[in-house]
Amino acid sequence: MNDKTETISSGWRAFQHILAARGHRRLVLVEGDRRAAIARVAGLLPELSAAQGLWVGREQDAIMAGLGHIRAKDYRRVLGQELPVLVWDGWEGTSPDAFAALSGTLRAGGLLFWLMPPLAQWSDFDDPDYRRTGLDRASGHPFAARLATVLAEDPGVIRLEADNGTVPVLNRPEPGRADFQPGQTAEQQTLVADVVRAGQGRRRRPLVITADRGRGKSSALGMAAARLLETGRKRVLVTAPSADNVATLFAHARQALGDALALDTATHLTTRSGHELCFLPPQELLSQRPEAEVVLVDEAAGLPAQWLKAVLLGWPRVVFASTVHGYEGTGRGFALRFRQILEQETPNWRAVSVREPIRWAQGDPLERLVFQLYLLSADAPEPQPFVAGDVHIERWQPAAASEQTLVEAFGLLVNAHYRTTPADLRQWLDDPAAMTWRASAEGRTIGLLWASTEGGLAPDLAEEVVAGKRRLRGHMLAQSLANHGGAPAAATLKTLRVVRVAVAESARRLGVGQRLVAAAREACVQDGMDALGTSFGGEPGLLAFWHRCGLRVVRMGLSQEASTGEFPLQMLMGTSEPGQQLQQQLSSRFARHWQHLVSRHWCQLDHELLLAICDALPSSAWLDDDDRRDLTNFAYGFRGFELTLPVLQELSACKGMAHRIQSHPEAKLWCRAVLQGWSWVQLQEAGLCRGQRDAEAQLRLLARELLQNETEL
């Protein structure tokens, strides 16, 4: 290292200026007694440029230190800010997601003070944040031990002993190196032009922007929005997971518009010519569907894919921006999943990526460290040719793996799932109930199954769970089936819940996923567990996969998942006699309740998924002679739809009927009219018919075809 070093007597303010000149930020690890650490940092702060700094921990400590205060759970409120100093009291708990996110708020010259026990004690330190996810049950913490190893080996980490006043050796920038100047880069200027071009261009040509934190994508969106208003666009709408996410966007739009503004609020700008930039929460945007020439979606990875699809199809020009290595959830999972929608709906879409940071210099030590700590840049290994018969399936401990193997394995989980966060890495490594199977070929990871043991509760506790009086961490599927499914046995029996299955792109459709599930099923049998289960955002392809693996539908949630916008679908396979009885009980009960719930809770459900679930449920429906007569009179005569509706619903539940309906051109009309209770007006507005008479005519023809093989009824 060619850095000129010296001990800085007055210390920290000069060091902060040095870092700012280099465009770097640093982590200062304050190890030792908590009260001594707080006093040490509070004593240093007067030497620093700490105005507008933040303290994450107890409010009284923040007040004593003269910093603003925030709780870790509220970290999203400040993601648009730029801070000179951040103090994180790890004795109060360290949320991986919040810590990684807030590190991105520090500007060049920023210092992140992390108050923690000595590194040697981390593997046994009971982080208070563990209680949120059930990790306080663990006897050891491999995740924390790995963090300690990374920190100990990183020369950029400044380590302070809490009760030692010695000033560490602090590095000056390299001689002759030009000072870093934060601000707009050429890459960002190009991005602004790209957004303006998309906003002024032809319809149905969306732009998708991906970038890491600190690359200026939000500010570029703001500058581009201002230019679009100045050049004639009357309304530009902005949406994001929360209003806090667009503070930077609006700040740059406000600055660019300057004196041209007539109305200026935090989320609404109107120019003197009446053109406006407005923020709307995504649900409000999709329910109101206001007119606009352009819609900008910031932090798109934080929104469900179905919402993004609705925005894509709802407005003529849309720009999506997402963080690649996101702290609330990686944008790569978003990109991979959303790409399929873009290719199908708008094949002329365009992708732009931004790599050069604007708030700090390339190679910033803090960004590099945070990425390594939480594997934010983890990627699956490059696909290699292999023979399917050479795949090896084994029980595997990720916490015992080499760093390179862990990076590849976690990268596989990241790429396969819509939203993966640093907290997922902690849960995977530290959860004592976790079990993992690895599929490998030629020594490379090509598939993973991550599962967690649940249930086994005492009968009296299970009854409290069923009654909704108790909710326990770490028993998601068992509690859901016990409470919402109304089956106490789901809580008392032992279940292995599959959390994730991930298979490399090059190994898909070769049976690797099914072999991983089979290995988990065999472990359930050998270990005396009662069932293998899973819960996932309902989607026809995933339902078909799990059905091929032997699992059966036992429940669907009444509310959409925040991460995917899909309804959670839960499936189960008994691996013991009591487990088989539980699965059959839940499946049969759900099948009986299914039609009563569809029109109330799943009236907007995709018709393909609806019919796939109908086909997967056990059928006890049958038609008597009266039903057959009514059905025949509807299909071949003039019996009214409303009078025949109960029989049509019963027909849909008969064995094999849903499968036959699936392949029919009018399957969507049948689902909306017969199963989901849409009105004739709704059907017409959706383009499914020209009116009631036309819809009934189509339904009569379909009923006639279903009657052709009466033996199935």
Does 699 have pLDDT greater than 80?
yes
Q: Give me the pLDDT at residue 241, please.
A: 84
Does 171 have pLDDT greater than 70?
no
Q: Lowest mean pLDDT: which of 20-24, 257-261, 628-632, 691-695?
A: 20-24
Q: Lowest mean pLDDT: which of 99-108, 117-126, 159-168, 439-448?
A: 159-168
Does 40 have pLDDT greater than 50?
yes
Query: Residue 79 — pLDDT band, cuts 50, 70, 90?
Result: confident
Does 5 have pLDDT greater than 50?
no
Query: Residue 174 — pLDDT band, cuts 50, 70, 90?
Result: low
pLDDT above 90 as % of the chain: 67
Query: Residue 32 — pLDDT band, cuts 50, 70, 90?
Result: very high
- Pull the structure tokens for residue 37: 């650490």
DSSP string covering 341-361: HHHHH-TT-EEEEE-S-SSS-
Does 7 have pLDDT greater than 60?
no
Structure confidence by residue, pLDDT tens digits, 578-590: 999 999 999 999 9
Most confident of 242-246, 334-338, 592-596: 592-596
Cα-to-chain-centroid distance, residue 202: 31
Average pLDDT over residues 177-192: 79
Structure confidence by residue, pLDDT tens digits, 262-314: 999 999 999 999 999 999 999 899 989 999 999 999 988 778 777 899 999 99
Query: Residue 1 — pLDDT band, cuts 50, 70, 90?
Result: very low
Q: Give me the pLDDT at residue 657, please.
A: 94
Asked if 236 contacts 279 with a C-beta cutoff of 8 angstroms, the reply is no
Residue 445: name the closest of 527, 498, 384, 368 by CA.
384
Q: Give me the pLDDT at residue 330, please.
A: 46
CA trace torsion 153, 155, 157, 162 (10° rounding): 80
CA–CA gap between residue 582 and residue 573 (Å, rounded): 9
Does 177 have pLDDT greater than 70?
no
- Pull the structure tokens for residue 693: 């008479």
- Does an H or E element contain 611, and which? helix 607-616
- Does an H or E element contain 444, and which? strand 444-455
Q: Give me the pLDDT at residue 8, please.
A: 37
- Residue predicted with more confidence, 565 or 327: 565
Query: Residue 383 — pLDDT band, cuts 50, 70, 90?
Result: low
Helix (H, G, I), strand (E, B) or coil at 441: strand
Provide the 10 A C-beta neighbour count for residue 709. Answer: 10
Q: pTM score, two decimals?
A: 0.86
Average pLDDT over residues 111-121: 97
- Mean residue pLDDT of the chain comes to 89
Does 652 have pLDDT greater than 60?
yes
Backbone φ/ψ region at 361: left (φ over 0), alpha (ψ -120 to 50), beta = beta
Query: Residue 332 — pLDDT band, cuts 50, 70, 90?
Result: low
Query: Residue 169 — pLDDT band, cuts 50, 70, 90?
Result: low
Structure confidence by residue, pLDDT tens digits, 200-220: 999 999 999 988 877 888 999
Q: Give me the pLDDT at residue 172, please.
A: 56
Average pLDDT over residues 626-648: 95
Average pLDDT over residues 34-39: 96
Does 416 have pLDDT greater than 80?
no
Does 362 have pLDDT greater than 50?
yes
Query: Residue 420 — pLDDT band, cuts 50, 70, 90?
Result: confident
Q: Percent helix, strand and coil across the chain, each rounded to 5? A: 50, 20, 35
Asked if 699 contacts 673 with a C-beta cutoff of 8 angstroms, the reply is yes
Average pLDDT over residues 88-98: 96
Q: Give me the pLDDT at residue 711, please.
A: 52
- Residue where the block lists tokens 């930039």: 277
Residue 104: name the closest of 72, 62, 75 by CA.
75
Query: Residue 331 — pLDDT band, cuts 50, 70, 90?
Result: very low
Does 355 have pLDDT greater than 70?
yes
Does 185 have pLDDT greater than 80?
no
Residue 427 half-sphere exposure toward CB, CA atoms < 13 A: 19
Query: Residue 90 — pLDDT band, cuts 50, 70, 90?
Result: very high
Does 326 have pLDDT greater than 70?
no
Average pLDDT over residues 389-400: 92
pLDDT above 70 as % of the chain: 92
Structure confidence by residue, pLDDT tens digits, 543-585: 999 999 999 999 999 988 766 678 999 999 999 999 999 999 9
Does 691 have pLDDT greater than 60?
yes
Average pLDDT over residues 181-195: 85
